[in-house]
């Protein structure tokens, strides 16, 4: 039986591919693919984002295109259905790369972005109590992301997340940090990450995968080498989407499962939780 997540992923892939097929740019395709996932409430992004330990839903997102190396990101944004669009607006409407917190939310409100009622469960917990709970809870995580190649040969990558389960208020992971959660360069490729953000940040994983691609390594080998290093050096865990400007790609993960998919416009989109 097909899971709701797999069905939603296939729908998102169709949206992104049809945009590319009609000549849209890869950043637009990445953004609109991720928007489908954010709106669904089925993933840890947008409507479905997890709550932080103080009971507030805060979200992160980023996007990057490989032609001019333009990038935009938001962190700890609240009440916005599509953080990925806020990230794209940062990239296109400002000279900045990253906006954070309440002023990132205010930025999104200025552009009249669609809002939703915050998922909140106010908790009167002391900071010491939150630290103790954080220490003994097992984290769950799951970022949504996409990579795309358009008709001009430009690659792009994006990601959006609600973070990890029961995180400290204000915690920010790898997703909005360019070079860690996402990276895109027409000379190498595009990478979008998911997983334990703290470990991904410490190795700047997305950029390291692209550095391997620059040396002529295949996408599958580049992803495997960097994920192996992540596990060996810091016991990290992650999954990645990797796409090169000549259309080669790989989906790999060091976690037991990773819901992912791809489509080249032929047949039906492929989606599953074990594709490597």
User: 33, 85, 105, 143: which one is catalytic?
Assistant: 143
**CA–CA gap between residue 31 and residue 221 (Å, rounded):** 27
CB 239 within 8 A of CB 253: yes
**CA–CA gap between residue 138 and residue 110 (Å, rounded):** 37
Active site (annotated) includes residue 143: yes
Per residue in 84-120, is it b (16+ CB within 10 Å) or e — as a string? bbbbbbbbeeeeebbbbeeebbebbeeeebeeeeebe
**CA–CA gap between residue 56 and residue 50 (Å, rounded):** 8
**CA–CA gap between residue 209 and residue 239 (Å, rounded):** 12
User: What amino acid positions are annotated as catalytic residues?
Assistant: 143
């Amino acid at each position: 039986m097909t899971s709701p997540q797999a069905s939603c992923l296939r729908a998102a892939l169709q949206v992104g591919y049809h945009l590319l097929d009609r000549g849209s740019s890869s950043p637009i395709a990445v953004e609109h693919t991720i928007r489908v996932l954010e709106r669904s409430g089925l993933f840890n992004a947008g409507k479905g984002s997890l709550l932080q330990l103080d009971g507030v839903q805060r979200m992160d997102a980023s996007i990057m295109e490989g032609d001019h190396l333009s990038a935009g990101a938001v962190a700890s944004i609240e009440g916005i259905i599509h953080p990925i669009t806020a990230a794209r607006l940062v990239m296109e409407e400002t000279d900045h790369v990253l906006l954070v917190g309440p002023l990132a939310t205010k930025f999104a409100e200025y552009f009249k972005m669609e809002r939703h009622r915050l998922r909140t469960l106010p908790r009167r917990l002391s900071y010491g109590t939150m630290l103790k709970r954080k220490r003994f809870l097992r984290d769950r995580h799951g970022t949504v992301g996409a990579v795309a190649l358009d008709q001009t040969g430009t690659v792009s990558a994006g990601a959006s997340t609600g973070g990890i389960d029961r995180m400290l208020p204000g915690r920010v992971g790898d997703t909005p940090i360019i070079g860690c959660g996402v990276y895109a360069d027409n000379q190498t490729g595009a990478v979008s990450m998911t997983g334990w953000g703290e470990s991904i940040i410490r190795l700047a994983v997305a950029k390291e995968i692209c550095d391997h691609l620059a040396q002529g390594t295949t996408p599958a080998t580049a992803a495997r080498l960097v994920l192996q290093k992540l596990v060996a050096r810091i016991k990290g865990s992650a999954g990645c989407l990797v796409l090169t400007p000549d259309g080669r790609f790989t989906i790999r993960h060091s976690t037991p499962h990773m819901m992912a998919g791809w489509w080249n416009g032929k047949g039906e989109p492929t989606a599953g939780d074990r594709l490597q």
